[in-house]
Structure 1
């Protein structure tokens, strides 16, 4: 695997080509009162667990696939396809990227990542998110960022209206952009909500010398 993929994986970002992302023009007050934003909040708070297949494409067109496992609050796992020696795990406190090829581990607070918007059901999106027009009434797009911490990056979450999903929505994927302008597209499929997920799913094996089981 090319080492250049590592920073792009950390960004976890770029909009699906089928969706048009436009800078919103509505005033902030109107955004806060939006029932659509309230519905997205309800979706994030309504998800207890989620498993899905993901496809991740970077800005150069390279694509990786794998399995996403999420358990609220704050736990997430990106298990990449066979042959990709990377694992990303969120244990409720921090996100950890483990590179088994070079035996390196990087760890940072979940709140410092664009993914923090998806992994904290107690946050109110109306305080740091805004709707992004898509031109399609069946699709909702919400951009979230911390204006006081631009280095944490930006995430634009894409939802499809779906009566069978939590709060009537289905998470289609997201657009994340880190402070180094690294972008990739993450698209989800084969969603399963509410299944039992053990906390052991968010543990990992430390590949460094004198490694140990970690996470969870």
Structure 2
């Protein structure tokens, strides 16, 4: 079932008492550590307003795949160590250490986020919004992640999406729907075909 994004809930009446910010941050950490795998549909909006859709697959630690809609020649894959951007239309491959990207917060559940993240007041106690950036490495960018309280989801939270700003201040918004948690996911999901050669790469 596709639900309304958390951002739409901000206009609704708030009926739940707000929890202290440190408790909310700890709950987000618990949620991230409770996710072994996740699949979801996503909608991505870039800084120019271009919208594309696709399927996200995540497997901890550090593995993620953004499979875009048919006709989009881009693939993004994290293999546990590096995040790889592949553009098949121009046969280009770029790689970055996962920890030096905004997604490092999401893809390293063992990291204590208390030193790099803080809770942002959303105006609705049903929603937890956190902003994370490494103060020692501003070049890694920043990420704002949005969660809604959901007793049926891991640690009682459901990730609604995030807004990431990279080191060039490029803004990307991801909104998730139809999340499914902790089902088996093969490591083969995170392999990709290198457009510079004919052999698969993992």
Structure 1 runs (4+) deviating above 6 angstroms are none
Match of 2:35 in 1: 47
1:129 and 2:111 correspond? no
Distance 1:155 1:165 in 2: 22
For residue 59 of structure 2, the aligned residue among 46, 53, 71 is 71
List runs of 5+ in structure 1 lacking aligned partners.
1-15, 21-29
Distance 1:211 1:151 in 2: 34
**1:118-160 Cα deviation digits (max 9, x unpaired):** 0001111111110010001000011111111101000011001
**1:17-47 Cα deviation digits (max 9, x unpaired):** 6487xxxxxxxxx85xx11111000000000
Distance 2:189 2:87 in 1: 17
The alignment partner of 1:123 has SS state of coil
Given that 1:143 and 1:156 are in contact with CA atoms closer than 8 Å, whether structure 2 keeps it comes out as yes
1:60 and 2:51 correspond? no
Q: Aligned pair in 2 of structure 1 residues 67, 148: CA closer, same or farther (>3 Å)? A: same
Match of 2:144 in 1: 156
List runs of 5+ in structure 2 lacking aligned partners.
1-5, 11-19
C-alpha displacement of 1:190: 0.3
TM-score using structure 2 length: 0.90
Q: How many residues align?
A: 189
Distance 1:46 1:212 in 2: 35
Match of 2:14 in 1: none
Match of 1:190 in 2: 178
RMSD (Å) for aligned C-alpha atoms: 1.6
TM-score using structure 1 length: 0.84
The alignment partner of 2:104 has SS state of helix
